[in-house]
Amino acid sequence: MLFSHIFKVEIKRHFMVFAILTILSGIFSLHFLINNHQQLAFSYLLINMVIGILIPIYIFMDFYNEFFIGKMTLNHMLPLKTSSLFFIKSIVFLIGIMVVWGATLIEIFLNPQGLYLTRIVQSTSPSEGILYLFCSKFFGMLSGLSLMGFAISLAKWVSKKVATGHLLIAFIFIAVIGFQFALIIKGSWHWSIGTSSLESFKQYANMLTISTFSNRPTFPDIKETIHWDSVVMNVIVTVISGSFAALLFNSKRYEIYGK
């Protein structure tokens, strides 16, 4: 009962933000789909980039206020482990992220010049392309949430000084995401961050979206741009950072009421 109650409370707290972002993303996707003007392409990509930046910032600030600053003191007085609270909040945020992203699928799947009709359906394995499209996004966002929890919990556990905690959080983000980023772009001719392309599938270093390109004019089959190793990498980060975050959240530093 307590789990479901907290889940409903978190849904109500964040519903409006994700609903607004979903509606905006859906409106612009439909507008670009109906008009389909090339001059709108940059604006459409720019809007999606801004939304893609706002969501991680919003989530991080909520985690930061909850678990680093401790503004929601009532939550920490409930007979609920801090790791369980983090898990519930992460589920809510993951649902919100995927719903907002779902609005962009309007353009991907329905646009005659979109990724699906121009590249995926023409590939040797459309089903694998669709599976990769969803899995790469899902596990990229999941690893990002886990890393946020680990970075914040470790910073809180190591030092009571705010400045030191901030430096540690920044270091963890840069180190982990930087390592993943380096592996993803290794061997590519050039790359771009936060953009989409009909040449290849996007990859994810946590919540950082990356498009890589070869030195060929175009890939004859978009299936060749599928890199499951980047998905596996995000799964590994999720398991490791999530496990450490759970241990730290359940330590005496957080469980001050002996939950």
- Asked if 112 and 207 count as a contact pair (C-beta separation under 8 A), the reply is no
pLDDT attached to residue 137: 96
- Residue 229 burial by Cβ neighbours in a 10 Å radius (0-12, 13-18, 19+): exposed
Task: Name residues of the chain where pLDDT drops below 50.
Answer: 256-259
pLDDT score of 29 = 82
At position 178, the amino acid (one-letter code) is G
Q: Mind spelling out the 3-state secondary structure of the chain?
A: CHHHHHHHHHHHHHHHHHHHHHHHHHHHHHHHHHHCCHHHHHHHHHHHHHHHHHHHHHHHHHHHHHHHHCCCHHHHHCCCCHHHHHHHHHHHHHHHHHHHHHHHHHHHHHCCCCHHHHHHCCCCCHHHHHHHHHHHHHHHHHHHHHHHHHHHHHHHHHCCCHHHHHHHHHHHHHHHHHHHHHHHHCCCCEEEECCCCCCCCCEEECCEEEEEECCCCCCCCHHHHCCHHHHHHHHHHHHHHHHHHHHHHCCCCCCCCCC
| pLDDT, tens only, 17-45 | 999 999 998 888 887 777 766 666 667 77
Strand-pairing partners, residue 204, are 209
pLDDT for 110 equals: 85
Q: What pLDDT score was predicted for residue 186?
A: 84
Give pLDDT, residue 255: 57
Residue 39 has a pLDDT of 63
CA-to-CA separations, 9 to 15, 98, 99, 113, 256, in angstroms, rounded: 10, 19, 18, 41, 23
Task: Compute how many other C-beta atoms are within 10 angstroms of the C-beta atom of residue 148.
Answer: 27
